[in-house]
Amino acid sequence: MARIVFTPNLQRHVDCPPSNAPAATVREALDHVFAGNPQLRSYVIDKQGRLRKHINVYINDRTVSDRIALSDTVGADDEIYVFQALTGG
For residue 5, give the H/E element and its range.
strand 2-6
Q: Provide the whole-model pTM.
A: 0.90
In a domain, 45, yes or no: yes
In a domain, 89, yes or no: no
Residue 46 structural domain: 2-84
pLDDT tens digits, one per residue of 4-55: 999 988 888 888 999 999 999 999 999 999 999 999 999 999 999 999 999 9
- Looking at the structure of the chain, the number of domains it has is 1
pLDDT confidence bin for 61, thresholds 50/70/90: very high
Give the Cα separation of 76 and 17 in Å (integer). Answer: 19
Residue 87: per-residue pLDDT: 66
Residue 11: per-residue pLDDT: 83
In a domain, 9, yes or no: yes
CA angle 70, 72, 76 (to 5 degrees): 115
CATH number at residue 51: 3.10.20.30
Residue 23: per-residue pLDDT: 95
